[in-house]
Amino acid sequence: MASVDTPAPSAEPTPGLPDYLTDPDAVLRDFEAKWRYGRAPDYSKTRKVYQETKQMSHTAGSLPELVQNLVKNWEVEASFKTSLSDWRTIDPENYSFAINGAEPQSAENMLKVGTYNAIITPNEYYSPEYSDFGSSHKTFKRMMPTFAWEVLEVYSGPPQVAFRWRHWGVMKSDYVGFNNKGEKVTAKAHGGLIDIQGVTVAAVDDKVRLQDVRTWFDPMDMFRQIAPDGVVKKEAITKNLSPDDALDSTQSVEIDQTPRPLQTATLDAGLNDLRHRPDELALKKPNPQNSDGNPSEQSSSSCPFMSS
């Protein structure tokens, strides 16, 4: 396992702005924080892939770069800091997270179930009901060793930040996860790109910490790219196995499984929502005066969003 190197600051701090806005790796240097695997994770490979394959190059200190850094630091904290008191990127009293118009979730729930399980609804490829924090990260980390994330464009600035993002990686190994029937589903690695996009609207406080976070994206888009022909292998799992042990179980039969249409609000719905709220989306600059694992890297939600 590679050692964890402390990331050097990516740029000189901007006066009046917190470091989690100016440096995507700021919270990785929080040495006193309680980390899930005893120390901060290593994001160096994902950051390298991001630099080599990103679509956008934002100007240092620009609104898109500040938003991008905020979300990347938030993803690290949501995935690996086990105490909410160590999270610097959120307003803990007013924070919530919702996907596709669903009921908002608390930070405590995300800590419990994991970032992947917090953003993916049960479907024929994956279900949070049959996965725990560790197995969910193993499912996606094994498939894609890196899952880079970037902001494509920003529609509005604080206190209501609206932006479109991209999340991408290469399917280097088989996908193995548990579906909504509790069956293990395997899709053979195709070595191709997996690329998803979404829209997020987030309220922030005067320190530019996240409060009400709402994200719209099509979670089935990722699985359609994982198994583009809809052909997977399904396995019956012994019920007394833990999710981690079940990932390595056997007894399989191949099936033809075509994704069902998404039943929740999608990216298009999110974009339409943004277009019909022009008063909220007037572009503003953030006010500097009001701003003040194992240890190997994980791909998130982490996105996820699931950012990395």
Cα–Cα distance for residue pair 142/116, rounded to 1 Å? 14
Measured CA distances, 274 to 71, 154, 161, 162, 266 (Å): 19, 11, 11, 8, 13
Q: Which residues of 109-144 are buried (b: 16+ CB within 10 A; e: fewer)?
A: ebbebbbbbbbbbebbbbbbebbbbbbbbbbbbbbb
Give the 3-state DSSP-derived string for 72-109, with helices as H, strands as E and coil as C. Answer: HHHHHHHHHECCHHHCCCECCCCCEEEECCCCCECHHH
Q: What angle do CA 67, 196, 105 make, to 5 degrees?
A: 60
In eight-state DSSP terms, residue 149 is E
pLDDT tens digits along 138-157: 999 999 999 999 999 999 99
pLDDT of the residue at 2? 38
Structure tokens at 44: 């160096």
Domains of the chain, each with CATH number or no CATH: 21-290 (3.10.450.50)
Q: Tell whether pTM > 0.95.
A: no
pLDDT of the residue at 263? 43
pLDDT tens digits along 236-267: 877 777 777 777 665 444 444 444 444 444 45
- The SS3 of residue 256 is strand
Cα–Cα distance for residue pair 197/222, rounded to 1 Å? 10
Residues of the chain below pLDDT 70: 1-15, 248-308
